Structure formats: C-alpha cells, structure tokens
Amino acid sequence: MADLQSIKARFGIIGNFPALNRALEKAIQVAPTDISVLVMGESGVGKEFIPKIIHAESRRKHQPYIVVNCGAIPEGTIDSELFGHEKGAFTGATSTRKGYFEVADGGTIFLDEVGELPLQTQVRLLRVLESGEFMKVGSSQVQKTNVRIVAATNVNMMKAIQDNRFREDLYYRLNTVQIDMPPLRERKGDIHLLFRKFAIDFAEKYRMPELKLTDDAVQYLENYPFPGNVRQLRNLVEQMTVVEQNREVNAAKLEEYIPMNANLPAVVQKNGLNGQNSDFSSERDIMYKILFDMRNDINDLKSLTSELIKNRGNSDLSLQEKNLINRIYTPETPAAASPNSLLYFENNRNPIHHPTMVPENEDQYNEVEDIELEESQPESLSLQNNEKELIIKALEKHKGRRNKAADELGISQRTLYRKIKQYNLEE
C-alpha cells in the first residue's frame, strides 16, 4: 500500500491541510476492498482524484476505469448509456449496444454528480449494487457484472432524500464509506502552495515568466472565500499568467480579478456535507419566478393607470403621468418588443387591448373618452400550462430538433427530455 506522500506526488495533489490528508488516507485504506464509496464536497474541490486513487491502489487497477457524468446525460438515454440496449428497443436503436456496466466488468465506474440521476435509473443502480445484476433496455435477460462503484456529488443528499429526489436505500448503499473533500477556503495554508504550483505550470505552458505574489496578495487570497474552490484558483492563475505584464502580483491587482465584496447572484447553491440547497431547484424555477413577479407588477400598474384614466380628467394628468401610461400600454416597449423575451411571449399570448394612448389635447380626449377599457382576461397562473405551451412552440419552431429547442428555452437537453415525457409530447 502506497503512503500519503507518494500518492500526492503521483497524482499532483498539493496541500497539507488535515482534512485533505484524512480524505486521501481513507481512499488509500478502502482501495484494496470492493466496498462502494461516496465522495462529498463542493464543486471544484478535486473530488475526481479520490476514485482515481482508489482504482490505482486496488486489485482492479489493470481493468477498465470509466468516468460517467450523470448530470450531462439526458434522462431519456441515461439507462441505455449505463446498461446498454437491444436492437429496436427504442427509436434510433439500430443495433445492440453495450452499456458502461458491461464494458467496465471487473473494473471501476466513477459516477460523478450521482445526485442528478433520475429516480428510474436509481432503481436500476440499486439492483446492481445489491446483486450485481442488470438488464439492457428492451431486454428481459438478466446479466451479471462485477464492478466497483465510486460516486461523487456536491448535492446535500439528506435534503434530496427529503424532497424525494433521491432514494434513501440507494444513498446508504453508495455511502458504505464517505469521504469528505474540504473546500479551499478552509485550506488557507494550502492556497499559496497551489498558486505557486499553477504559476509554474502555466509559465512553462505559455513560455512566460512565473507569477509571484507579494505578502499582501497572499493574505488577500487566504481571506478570499473562493466559491469555485481549486478550479477557480487555477483559472485565475492561468488568466493572470497570460494577461498581466507585471509578473509581481499584489493585493490591488488581485482585487481587479476577484473582488472581495463582489455581489454574487441571488441564487447560489451552497452544497456539501453541511451546506444547504438554494431556494430554487433549477434554472426553470428561477425563470418563472422572475417572469411572474414581473407580470404581477405590470398588471398592478395597468390596474392603477386604468383607474387613473377613468377617474381623472385629461387636464388633471401631469406630463410625467402621461408618459408613464404611454410606456405601460405601448407594445413597442423595449422589454416587451424583443422576440426573444419571455415577457414578449406572455404579453402577446393573450394581448390586452386598450384605446389609443392618453390624448395630448381635449379634442382627442373627447373622441375616446366614451370608449371603455376592455377588462384584461385573467391569465392562467398554472406553471404546467405555460411550460407545456412554451415547449410545444419551441419544438414546432425548430421542427422537432430538441437540442435547438432546449437552447431556445434556456434549459438543458436533459430537462427538456424529462418535460417532453411528463407532458406526453413524444411523437
């Protein structure tokens, strides 16, 4: 069994933080066994090193090692990717295909972002963990596989279980041994070491002088929260290596790249062992929250201005009030006029008709004062109805090309596949 220092040297791991050393030691200890391991930690902390170490130090090191990013595979195809399929099992299945569990027989599979697996796939994975058995998609024949599973996630698994997004029995099967990778902000003493390592690597790669940190720059980095962890630090060093002319970096220069008090997005996932999920589970929820808040504000403004027009004469309206009313009811308002705007879609799906804008003189006012404002029809507040209609329109616009439709909707292809199935929109 290799010792800690040799593992660090072999895999290029920098740092001496106790929690990091403990994580590496646990990986070395469990490597000779076949028990499943769950690696927990925030995005960018280097969770991918743990399964590499486990595989390299195990009896399976000469067998296949396969990395599967569970969050990057569309829900409609992930079962086929993992377990394979028979010819004709679904549209496009023109031949029999082996899945990762068949290909990696005798080796190790690293399931990255395992918290993103669909519930149906979780059931199949649980069977593999319990009995080593699986069936290809479209087949009734049971196959056996001997695979070591190492999984990783940045999701708060207990919260996912409470929200019925992850099976509790699968969680405990995967979590026979849990290895926690610490965030970079806790490894203050390692930050300068990592910076120097990256500076040397990128100086050699781009054939440029190495970056050096002043004392105040070191202190600045140690106090910075690094939400992107080691990945963020690495990208920072690479960027500065290429861009900066002065090879000595001080705190003022660092602040130009990573401001200490920068306003972060309102929705930030803070996951990990003790982290909490954000208030919204997906970007779609954020989109609809913003959309409905904007629509409610606009409807309130329309109601107020309608009462204003009815109850007050034209002469009582100030120029500022007239301009406000015109902006509300003019369809060419920039926010509403953009064809790519969700607000444009909502405003034009059931347009609200109003008379000509507030007249500029009394004669014009007399021509329209007897015209009653049409009451706006109440729009459906159902997320499902609006979501389904958006998906149908996007698919029609792009002639059924789901990747284009997903880009148009601003969601991932995997989410689009799931929604198509949910609303029975499959051809």
Domain presence at residue 265: no
Is there a domain that residue 272 lies in?
A: no
Same domain, residue pair 247 and 315: no
Listed residue (209, 189, 191) closest to 200, CA to CA:
209
Torsion sign across C-alpha atoms 93, 98, 101, 103: negative
| Helical (H) or strand (E) element with 380 | none
In the chain, the number of structural domains is 4
* CA-to-CA dists, residue 153 to 13, 42, 44, 75, 117, angstroms: 20, 8, 11, 18, 11
Strand 65-69 relative to strand 108-112: parallel, antiparallel, unpaired? parallel
Residue 130 lies in a domain: yes
Final residue belonging to a domain, choices 182, 207, 239: 182
DSSP 410: T
82 and 15 co-located in one domain:
yes
Secondary structure element (H or E) that encloses residue 267, with its range:
none
Based on the domain organization, do 347 and 411 belong to the same domain? no
Report how far apart, in Å, the C-alpha atoms of 198 and of each of 16, 134, 177, 242, 257 are. Answer: 17, 43, 31, 13, 16
200-212: per-residue pLDDT in tens?
A: 999 999 999 999 9
Tell me how far CA of residue 8 lies from CA of 15, 24, 231, 249, 425, in angstroms. Answer: 9, 9, 18, 28, 51
Residue 335's pLDDT band, with cuts at 50, 70 and 90, is very low
311 and 358 assigned to the same domain: yes
Q: What is the pLDDT of residues 124-144, one digit of tens each?
A: 999 999 999 999 999 999 999
Of the three residues 182, 207, 227, the one that is the final residue of a domain is 182
> Does residue 227 share a domain with residue 130?
no
Spatial contact of 4 and 18, defined as CB atoms under 8 Å apart: no
Same domain, 170 and 192: no
For the chain, the average pLDDT equals 81
- pTM value? 0.62
- Helix, strand and coil content of the chain, in percent to the nearest 5, comes to 50, 10, 40
For the chain, give the longest Cα–Cα distance: 95
Tokens describing residue 231: 């990945």
Does residue 286 sit within a domain?
no
404 and 335 in a common domain: no
Stretch 35-61: mean pLDDT? 96
CATH of the domain at 167: 3.40.50.300
Residues 79 and 117 in one domain: yes
Whole-angstrom distance, CA of residue 136 vs CA of residue 128: 12
Question: Could you tell me if 356 and 396 lie in one domain?
Answer: no
Do 142 and 251 belong to one domain?
Answer: no
Residue 310 has pLDDT above 80, yes or no: no
In this predicted model, which residue has the larger pLDDT, 186 or 415? 186
Give the pLDDT of residue 101: 97
Do 39 and 93 have their domain in common?
yes
Count CA atoms within 13 Å of residue 248 on its CB side.
3
Structural domain of 43: 4-182
**What is the mean pLDDT of the segment spanning 69-81?**
93
pLDDT of residue 325: 60
Structural domain ending residue among the three candidates 163, 182, 201 = 182
